[in-house]
Structure 1
Amino acid sequence: MSTRPTKRVVVTGISVVAPGGLGTERYWKALLTGENAIAELTRFDATRYPSRLAGQITDFDAAEHLPGRLLPQTDVSTRYALAAADWALSESGVGPDSGFDDYDLGVVTSTAQGGFDFTHREFHKLWSQGPEYVSVYESFAWFYAVNTGQISIRNSMRGPSAALVGEQAGGLDAIGHARRTVRRGTGLVVSGGVDSALDPWGFASQLAGGLVSTVLDRERAYLPFDSAASGYVPGEGGAVLVVEDADSANERGAERIYGEIAGYAATFDPAPGSGRPPTLDRAALLALDEAGLRPSDVSVVFADGVGVPELDRAEADALVRLFGPRGVPVTVPKALTGRMCAGGGPADVAAALLALRDQIIPASGRTDRVPDAYGIDLVTGEPRAAVLDTALVLARGRHGFNSAVVLTSHRP
């Protein structure tokens, strides 16, 4: 007899902090209207860099959303995460009078870049002024676990918590771990991912990876699955979700349930040169199996969509193996925001849940020429109305990380 947990895990709150979309509904509108948030960098003078485009958040004033005491001790990415957590909890109706014990509330987040901007400001002080000028908060503001820690402190969440790092795949890993935590008995977990590294050093670090597009036309720089694909554009931000036991959500009268996190899985690719194939399709199959579903049950795929030809072809091949040629609609809405590293997967999860809600698939940015050899049904140009019940969200991190999350419409 199986002892695998059978609790259903649902999403009762969503908040997005992304280029072109501060707040969930604003983000969703930007995706549906095709609002391109990729533009010239304005955080610093990037004129001598080989790439000068990014997806920047331009409408966030931390002082409007967070108490002043937090500002000196937080990196920009942590400020995004704290504000997004506040908004997601508010939307879910979770507060001091919600009936949860502190130890029944957890936090699981992911960041791949840590407090880049904060750290490099402090390094500059160290080199130019001396160690006595370095902020004491540097001891933790750079750290990959700081978003989990700051959210848990701010909201008195003392239950099981974690921080995961898996580059672009890490945000989905955080959501998968949050689901596992709820199924093991924790009532509610705040989860997701947020990243930001658009300071000079952080941006240079991203360029050093060799996958960033050097095209300077903002309309043509990031074209996932396009015959003219030349790389991706870095972005910042992400999304935070409130993940909860379905029975608990119903008992407390949660105002809304966006959908169920029905399955999750992660795999790691074999070493280059091993002759063995990558394992993205295996991650998807494992996640679907955990959800008790088959590939034929999937209504839409939110793809990773790096925008690098060989990586796009590898993902397209995996999708064809899973679904057959043009077997399911595929979309890459992050083409409008840039790749947000650990924040990209959670933002795609948010978009997928909203697609299930509104029965519409956002288009894939400015991509308009998909090679026939890819064999995928990519949604391009305009959003596509469709009957949607199940969404598969995929993400790949550098050096072999693969993650998949299966979402379904909520059934009371």
Structure 2
Amino acid sequence: MSASVVVTGLGVVAPNGLGAQDYWSATRVGKSGIGRLSRFDPAQYPSKLAGEIHGFTAEDHLPNRLMPQTDRMTRLALVAADWALEDAGVRPAERPAFDMGVVTSSASGGFEFGQRELERLWGQGSEYVSAYQSFAWFYAVNSGQISIRHGMKGPSGVVVSDQAGGLDSVAQARRQVRKGTPLIVTGAVDASLCPWGWVAQQTSGRLSTGEDPETAYLPFDRRAAGHVPGEGGALLVLEGEDAARARGAKVYGEIAGYGATFDPKPGSGRPPALRKAVELALADAGVDARDVDAVFADGAAVPELDRIEAEAVNDVFGPGRVPVTVPKTMTGSLYSGAGALDLATALLAMQEGLIPPTTNTEPDQDYGLDLVVGQLRTTEVRTALVLARGHRGFNSALVVRSADRLR
């Protein structure tokens, strides 16, 4: 069996596009999905903007029996999984159940479902709380519901590492494919745009309080003052390269390298560990820094965090030596869904030969980055680095290679 693990299907649910092609059509030209939050009135909260998915009606895609037992997050994930499998040309019912698994990530679980049931507990009594509360809020629920829906009984699980989780889950899926499981559905979808989730997100101290969608989320900009939260993400189908080729599958690219680290305790005097994660990912992929054509950055839009990320990129690649982009300026930060969506974006960028822009940002030249801003940049992208960081120290880096490099 080939050690190469490839992506054969993409399912995207994002604020600026439902489905991979709609998302890509918007992202490549800088179309944003950020606006004033409408799922509830945010007037009493410091932050009022979000990357919100509009036009999604779960009942159009899923059976009615799933509605009482699923949170919005899980409904989005189920549809993304359906789209990824369809894109890959996979019919799970025709495959052995133990040849398929599911590895996802979640930063919060089904908060909206949990809030509704807590309101019933407080307002009506315990007998009015849904029995589905026992799992609908849980971090692992997306993995469970996807596996049940498609009869996937192979190695499965959930990874919880805040915003780094989207990449970590893909890395775990790659391990399982390398160990012999023919197919894994992986990635992440988060959705916590409810009052309970909103309050929890405010506690990070990293949310933008800007009220203009065009200036609220500005990574690597002197005006940077935090990120805009969002909902959505991406799910991907991973297979061994040989098996994918044998069945004539479309191959987006290879999950070539991965590295993960954890930052030292603040005040310890030790340096941040993001650079080490990048170096580990490059070594795992067997590529040199000069082979990387684009970096899809985490883009925290917090000055100190932006400085750390810029220094890591410059230390590894040299100042201004590699194009950098933050397409999540069009969606907001999707927490665990962010890295998975950036990975999907990198794969789509490889197919078309372009780097999507970082919207609205005026790059601070002190960071020394070649930030792609204003409009897309046409260039060959054969190897890309995707970065993701989670609150309180998680760092993940993933190298993806285009299908052309596998031939």
TM range (shorter): over 0.9
Q: Does 1:160 align with 2:145?
A: no
Deviation at 1:97, TM superposition (A): 6.2
Write out the 4+ residue segments of structure 1 that deviate beyond 3 Å after TM superposition.
none
Find the counterpart in structure 2 of residue 201 from structure 1. 196
Corresponding letter in the other structure for 1:262? A
Find the counterpart in structure 2 of residue 232 from structure 1. 227
TM-score, with structure 2 as normaliser: 0.98
- The separation in 2 between residues aligned to 1:6 and 1:402, in whole angstroms, is 28
Find the counterpart in structure 2 of residue 136 from structure 1. 131
1:248-327 equivalences under 5 Å are 248-254=243-249, 256-327=250-321
Deviation at 1:6, TM superposition (A): 5.6
- 8 Å contact kept, 2:310–2:367: yes
Find the counterpart in structure 2 of residue 349 from structure 1. 343
Find the counterpart in structure 2 of residue 41 from structure 1. 37
Q: 2:376 aligns with which of 383, 386, 392?
A: 383
The SS at the match of 2:9 is: strand
- The separation in 2 between residues aligned to 1:264 and 1:101, in whole angstroms, is 29
Find the counterpart in structure 1 of residue 103 from structure 2. 108
1:326-405 equivalences under 5 Å are 326-368=320-362, 370-405=363-398
- The separation in 2 between residues aligned to 1:291 and 1:310, in whole angstroms, is 29
Mark the runs of 5 or more structure 2 residues left unpaired by the alignment: none
- 8 Å contact kept, 2:2–2:242: no
- The separation in 1 between residues aligned to 2:93 and 2:41, in whole angstroms, is 48
Deviation at 1:371, TM superposition (A): 1.7
Corresponding letter in the other structure for 1:75? D
Q: How many residues in Structure 1 have an aligned counterpart in Structure 2?
A: 405
TM-score, with structure 1 as normaliser: 0.97
Find the counterpart in structure 1 of residue 87 from structure 2. 91
Deviation at 1:32, TM superposition (A): 1.2
Find the counterpart in structure 2 of residue 70 from structure 1. 66
Deviation at 1:238, TM superposition (A): 0.3
- The separation in 1 between residues aligned to 2:359 and 2:119, in whole angstroms, is 37
The SS at the match of 1:69 is: helix
Post-superposition CA distance 1:154-210 (Å, at most 9, x none): 000000001000100001000010011101111000000010111011111111211
- 8 Å contact kept, 2:2–2:241: no
CA-based RMSD of the aligned residues comes to: 1.0
- The separation in 1 between residues aligned to 2:50 and 2:195, in whole angstroms, is 12
Deviation at 1:96, TM superposition (A): 4.2
The SS at the match of 1:168 is: coil
Deviation at 1:323, TM superposition (A): 0.5
The SS at the match of 2:225 is: coil
- The separation in 2 between residues aligned to 1:134 and 1:385, in whole angstroms, is 54
- The separation in 2 between residues aligned to 1:355 and 1:34, in whole angstroms, is 13
The SS at the match of 1:45 is: coil
Deviation at 1:35, TM superposition (A): 1.1
- 8 Å contact kept, 2:225–2:303: yes
Mark the runs of 5 or more structure 1 residues left unpaired by the alignment: none
